[in-house]
Structure 1
Amino acid sequence: MSQHLLMIEDDARLAAMVGEYLEQNGFTVSKAPDGLSGLSRLNQAGDNHPPELVILDLMLPDIDGLEVCRRVRALPSSMAQIPILMLTAKGDPMDRIIGLEMGADDYLPKPFEPRELLARVRAILRRKTEPAIGANQSLLRFGSLSIDRDARTVTVGTDECDLTSYQFDLLVALAERAGRVLTRDQIMEAVRGRELEAFDRSIDVHMGRIRAAIESDPKDPKRILTVRGVGYVFARQQE
């Protein structure tokens, strides 16, 4: 059965071209011409038939892609975890950073090659479905922090943490290598991504969101530590 993608894009010509290309490569593609109709499609699909991934344009005629992303992440249950690949025609890196902070899993600037879009879609879906690298057991425990690789959930005490699919994989990549300093390139390689055009700041944004979810004080982290000029290390000993 083909995987279902939802493309929220107001450029009808681009949506038709990309949709046809993705369908030729085995996907089923639904299209929405603006943010509100895209959100309506997601609400109608519900938990029973949600798309596997949303391709979301940043510039839309009603509400912008950032607002759509925010509303998707506020949806109930598993719907909030749908991976989002954001398309942006803007060249300012800050727009990309804001998109990641709002919960996007990846971004692709326009104009783009359909083959690159396809590769990124497949990479995101692969991370969503494949087990983590080197997984010997399902559950990782570090003090009050529990990471269930099979269920793809993270809890601190009894509270479940809200992470995107990509952020979960980043956390697992670090936790499996606890005590080892990883560069940003090593982290991206560990999650099987040529992610975000090797844009180092994107990793920093995601790490900030992970810290906000798992740290008691994100400004004074105890679990994910920054090694200045190198990268990050996941602390072995935690409270």
Structure 2
Amino acid sequence: MTASHILLVDDDVELTELLADYLTTEGLEISVANSAEQALALLAPPARFDLAVFDIMMPGMSGLELLQQVRPSNPIPVIMLTGKGGDIDRILGLEMGADDYLSKPCNPRELLARIRAVLRRMQTPPSAPDTRVIQHWGLALQLAKRTLLFRDTPLELTSAEFNVITQFMQNPGVVLSKAKLTERVLHRELTAYDRAIDVHVSRVRQKLSKVLPEQELIKTVRGEGYLFIGEE
């Protein structure tokens, strides 16, 4: 099996060397950029990476600005590294299309776990594809193609957003807790002060409201989680 190719982007040379050495011993292929400008050059076609890790706080172009340049033309999954108190940066990163985030200083083992979790949800299961098409309110969820259509027009979704809407459309009328959604969508446990799943749900809501402005399809159930309203 070919090793997954990861791009690490951080201006801290010592940190990237340490992380690169550790992740390489764990079977990943690692490339390093010590600035956003270097990263853009490495990401230019025909380069192919399976995932990128962007530090938010870099001199010159920040990680958020780099993400803004990469999205939406490049669908590469991205994990953001943020400062401990960088709640606003984390939320901005997720709203701009990042897949997950991790606070610095980060434990290399935890970064590896996050990388593997994101890669796992990007990969097609080895079993026979699920050919079902689930339909509600003019939406058609094509599981095998990982595509959501509204009246035959595809909606642009990140991998995490597709997994969110899949959980909802497969469980209409069922309250899904944030912990359960985090496990099923992000393939990790919900942690304290973790708002990643809330932001992904919010982005799905925004995209659904553009095509179905008069229907509130996803409701918040205070203290319990979220509920998708299926068609009667």
What residue number does 1:43 align with? 44
How far is the alpha carbon of 1:74 from its aligned partner? Answer: 2.6
Q: Equivalent of 1:164, from 154, 158, 172?
A: 158
Q: Identify which range, 149-158 or 59-68, moves more after superposition.
A: 149-158
Provide the C-alpha distance between the structure 2 equivalents of 1:124 and 1:28, rounded to a whole number of angstroms.
Answer: 16
8 Å contact 2:35–2:58 — kept in the other structure? yes
8 Å contact 1:174–1:187 — kept in the other structure? no
8 Å contact 2:130–2:144 — kept in the other structure? no
Alpha-carbon distance change, 70 to 138 in structure 1, aligned in 2, over 3 angstroms:
farther
8 Å contact 1:196–1:202 — kept in the other structure? no
TM-score by length of 1: 0.86
8 Å contact 1:225–1:232 — kept in the other structure? yes
TM-score by length of 2: 0.89
What residue number does 2:27 align with? 26
Aligned 1:83-232 pairs, distance under 5 A: 83-131=77-125, 137-191=131-185, 193-194=187-188, 197-216=191-210, 221-232=215-226
Provide the C-alpha distance between the structure 2 equivalents of 1:40 and 1:218, rounded to a whole number of angstroms.
Answer: 39
Deviations 1:27-73 (A, max 9, x none): 1111111112212211233xxx5211011110112211111111111
| Matching residue's letter, 2:13 | A
Provide the C-alpha distance between the structure 1 equivalents of 2:84 and 2:194, rounded to a whole number of angstroms.
Answer: 18
DSSP 3-state at the match of 1:187: helix
Provide the C-alpha distance between the structure 2 equivalents of 1:59 and 1:141, rounded to a whole number of angstroms.
Answer: 42
Q: How many residues align?
A: 228
Provide the C-alpha distance between the structure 2 equivalents of 1:221 and 1:202, rounded to a whole number of angstroms.
Answer: 24
| Matching residue's letter, 1:223 | L
Alpha-carbon distance change, 63 to 196 in structure 1, aligned in 2, over 3 angstroms:
farther
Provide the C-alpha distance between the structure 2 equivalents of 1:218 and 1:62, rounded to a whole number of angstroms.
Answer: 40
Alpha-carbon distance change, 196 to 15 in structure 1, aligned in 2, over 3 angstroms:
farther
Provide the C-alpha distance between the structure 2 equivalents of 1:151 and 1:161, rounded to a whole number of angstroms.
Answer: 13
How far is the alpha carbon of 1:170 from its aligned partner? Answer: 1.6
| Matching residue's letter, 2:201 | M
Provide the C-alpha distance between the structure 2 equivalents of 1:171 and 1:217, rounded to a whole number of angstroms.
Answer: 14
Provide the C-alpha distance between the structure 1 equivalents of 2:65 and 2:153, rounded to a whole number of angstroms.
Answer: 26
Provide the C-alpha distance between the structure 2 equivalents of 1:136 and 1:198, rounded to a whole number of angstroms.
Answer: 34
8 Å contact 2:5–2:30 — kept in the other structure? yes
Alpha-carbon distance change, 180 to 200 in structure 1, aligned in 2, over 3 angstroms:
farther
Provide the C-alpha distance between the structure 2 equivalents of 1:167 and 1:199, rounded to a whole number of angstroms.
Answer: 20
Alpha-carbon distance change, 230 to 53 in structure 1, aligned in 2, over 3 angstroms:
same
| Matching residue's letter, 2:141 | I
8 Å contact 2:100–2:196 — kept in the other structure? no
| Matching residue's letter, 1:174 | F
For structure 2, the residue ranges without an aligned partner over 5 or more in a row are none
How far is the alpha carbon of 1:93 from its aligned partner? Answer: 1.6
Provide the C-alpha distance between the structure 2 equivalents of 1:68 and 1:195, rounded to a whole number of angstroms.
Answer: 28
Provide the C-alpha distance between the structure 2 equivalents of 1:205 and 1:126, rounded to a whole number of angstroms.
Answer: 20
Alpha-carbon distance change, 218 to 201 in structure 1, aligned in 2, over 3 angstroms:
farther
DSSP 3-state at the match of 1:141: strand
DSSP 3-state at the match of 1:55: strand
8 Å contact 2:178–2:190 — kept in the other structure? no
Q: Identify which range, 81-90 or 154-163, moves more after superposition.
A: 154-163
| Matching residue's letter, 2:80 | M
8 Å contact 2:175–2:225 — kept in the other structure? yes
- Calculate percent identity across the aligned residue pairs: 39
